[in-house]
Amino acid sequence: MPLSERSDDLVLVNCLTLWISNLVLRNEAHDADTIAVTETKRLLDLFDRQAAWWVLIRNEVGMGGVQPTPLGSRFRDLLGRVSQIIAERADKAYLMVAGLAVDLKASGAKPFG
């Protein structure tokens, strides 16, 4: 929905990290990656049907070094993939560092892949 058609309503989703973690753990025996990507796309489709502003928050888990377990690595990679899908559709994307908002899209950053 174009920005000019947005209402004054706001939907805050905090936290995508826990949402993806729950999806992975609940579907560990199945294809959790495909399920998480499918559910993310369903969430984005909901955005298109709502006139509200949406703010999605997630923790940064990929800057802290190598994950010590296969599940941790899989989770980190999946959260990054989901974040790329969301950032590509988002009007704005920020990285918060030391309380400062770094505008990723204004810097010309584009999702990799």
* Boundaries of every domain in the chain: 3-103
Q: Is the pLDDT of residue 109 over 80?
A: no
Rounded alpha-carbon distances, angstroms, from residue 88 to 46, 66, 73, 97, 104? 16, 26, 23, 21, 11
pTM across the whole model: 0.83
Q: Is the pLDDT of residue 12 over 70?
A: yes
**Considering the chain, what is the average pLDDT of its residues?**
87
**What does the pLDDT average to over 18-42?**
90
CATH fourth-level superfamily of 3-103: P-loop containing nucleotide triphosphate hydrolases (3.40.50.300)
Angle at which helix 70-89 crosses helix 32-49, to 10 degrees, equals 20
